[in-house]
Chain A
């Protein structure tokens, strides 16, 4: 039976810098679909935008002023960023491992000959901001980009042999939602999709 790993950032050392987020349950959760690996971060969100874009085509009749609008599809694209804070060397190393797993989630499952077996679809869950309408998990996404930016103004945690960890690390992510259907539903899209809770 394949085993999956779950890592949770901000949960190591004696004094986690993200205690408040942990206590409030503000968690960002990523699940790598091909392997089931999970990594969670305290949701120290810096930005979050969720753009829903319909795609239309227009048809003009011979004697009508206005076009007939035909909806072809609707896309959903999320951009968000959060910081990963570390207050000790031990916590920084643990957080680095968590960030490593997040980055690794952009890579696929490989077959025995090295070809791609499973595409790196990722389920992203950000409290009530990104939640599935048909399951208690997040939204299935393709993550197109992860930016890893060290904030040197906040300082670094260093150790021997060039080991270097940022006290504050900003992760920026661009993702596109893959819409899910509930096969048992009597509506094409779930009535609760999209939803921001409340």
Chain B
């Protein structure tokens, strides 16, 4: 008769057919390589198709963007074994730290999160900065001064864990993400000791399916919540390896005092720092045929992707500004 934990574990195995359940010899590297190979194959296919397609058609796909970005996941994800149709339902959230465009000499940082997530909230906000001027007596309207438009997004998702291994991975990934809101520091070597000064905030490149495509963001908030109702994995030192040392099983762990939650709810808040032109016309749209067209001239929908649907007439472009950052410094050739 299995205990409660085993029943839970078996149930999830049926629902989520990933490869790590019930198999402690799960080959992390092999699974990861397989997932990457599948992604690269898809990206290559998309790249081939886009070479022969009119640029008016289609969007940069997740695979394409991921291939450009080359994110480096630190751990295999619970859904690495998911077939492509399920991967579409659980979109891949990729948050990769990149160099500060103004101080590329400080390096690219080391935070990388690449995970299929169970989205629970996606709320984007576009706030136009209008400033009201003075209104003289009897005047119908005040003067309105436009200063720009801010874009922010709040993303909530759940990280479930069917096994102890996955719970550890989730905690590890959340640890990385939580570091994202803290600044980057530079070490100064003094004569007898060293000291640190704040260099600035961290910059990230984020992808989330067709919703967020290769956008540069600051992470302005991170909320980590353990869902107590889902339970935790208990400590049990009765399972030993061949050397007689306690080891983890799928449903128990061997580290006394370690809390391994079965479900973590995460909220991430982001502020966008676009590295391309936003507006209509502008320096990339100088011909008469470009009147009233979207400024970035990529031939792709913005802000959200629409698959291979033909873009609206005002969004068509020759794609000359499709690549807005260079490999060397990761900065825009646009308006940054």
If A106-B126, A162-B91 touch, whether A179 touches B210 (CB-CB below 8 Å) is no
B281 engages A109 (CB within 8 Å): yes
Interface residues on A, range: 35 or more
Given contacts A145-B125, A160-B84, contact A96 B301 (CB under 8 A): yes
Identify the closest chain A residue to B126 (Cβ).
A146
Centre residue among B46, B87, B306 by max chain A CB count within 10 A:
B306
| Minimum CB distance partner of A121 in chain B | B144
**Cβ–Cβ contact A148 & B125, under 8 A:** yes
Restricting to B197-214, which residues have a CB under 8 Å from any CB of A? 207-211
CA distance A35 to B141 in the complex (A): 23
Chain A hits for B291, CB < 8 A: 1-3
What 0/1 pattern do residues 83 to 123 of A give for CB contact below 8 A with B?
00000011001101101110110111111111011011000
Q: Does A34 count as interface, using CB distance less than 8 angstroms?
A: yes
Complex Cα gap A90–B209 (Å): 17
Given contacts A145-B125, A145-B127, A162-B91, whether A110 and B139 have CB atoms under 8 Å apart is no
Residues of A within 8 A of B127 (CB): 144-145
Q: Is the CB of B146 within 8 A of A114?
A: no
Q: CB distance B88 to A161 under 8 Å?
A: yes
- Whether, in the assembled complex, B277 has its beta carbon less than 8 Å from a beta carbon of chain A, the answer is yes
- With CB as the reference atom, state the residue of chain A lying closest to B208: A162
Cα separation A167 to B46 with both chains bound (whole Å): 26
Give, as a whole number of angstroms, the nearest-CB distance from A22 to chain B: 20
Q: Is A7 an interface residue (CB 8 A)?
A: yes
Pairwise interchain contact B210-A165, C-beta atoms closer than 8 A: yes
B62 at the interface (CB under 8 A from A): yes
Whether B311 lies near A120 (C-beta < 8 A) is no
| Smallest CB gap from B139: residue in A | A73
Cβ of B42 within 8 Å of any chain A Cβ, yes or no, is yes
The distance from the CB of A175 to the nearest CB of chain B, in whole angstroms, is 10
Residues facing A in B277-336 (CB within 8 A) are 277-283, 286, 291-292, 294-295, 301-307, 309, 311-314, 335
| B71-113, CB < 8 A from A | 84-85, 87-89, 91-92
Q: Please tell me which stretch of A41-49, A59-67, A126-134, A151-159 contacts chain B, meaning at least 4 of its Cβ atoms lie within 8 angstroms of it.
A: A151-159
Number of A-B contacts (CB under 8 A): 186
Interface string of B50-85 (1 = CB under 8 A from A): 000000000101111000000000000000000011
Q: A97-B301, A114-B335, A163-B305 are in contact. Are A142 and B280 (CB under 8 A)?
A: no
Query: Are B294 and A159 in touch, CB under 8 angstroms?
Result: no
Cα A162 to Cα B307 with chains together (Å): 9
Q: In whole Å, how far is B155's beta carbon from the nearest beta carbon of chain A? A: 10
Interface size on B, residues (CB 8 A): 64
Closest to A165 in B: B210
A96 pairs with B304, CB closer than 8 A:
yes
Given the known inter-chain contacts A3-B313, A34-B280, A96-B301, please indicate yes or no for A162 contacting B88, CB distance below 8 A.
yes
Which A residues touch B130, using CB under 8 A?
142, 144, 176
The answer, among A120, A147, A162, for a CB contact under 8 Å with B92, is A162
How distant is the Cα of A96 from the Cα of B278 in the complex, in angstroms? 18
A19 located at the interface, meaning its Cβ lies under 8 Å from any Cβ of chain B in the complex? no
Known: A164-B91, A164-B211, A188-B140. 15 other contacts (CB 8 A): A104-B280, A108-B146, A108-B280, A109-B281, A110-B282, A119-B144, A147-B124, A152-B121, A158-B88, A160-B88, A161-B61, A161-B64, A162-B61, A164-B88, A179-B141
On A, residues with C-beta under 8 Å from B are 1-5, 7, 32, 34-37, 72-73, 89-90, 93-94, 96-97, 99-101, 103-104, 106-114, 116-117, 119-120, 142-150, 152, 156, 158-165, 176, 178-179, 181, 188-189
Q: Which 7 pairs from chain A and chain B are nearest by CB?
A: A162-B209, A110-B282, A162-B62, A2-B291, A161-B61, A158-B88, A148-B124
10 A-B pairs in the complex with CB atoms less than 8 angstroms apart: A72-B135, A96-B301, A100-B304, A101-B314, A110-B283, A112-B281, A160-B61, A160-B84, A188-B140, A189-B140
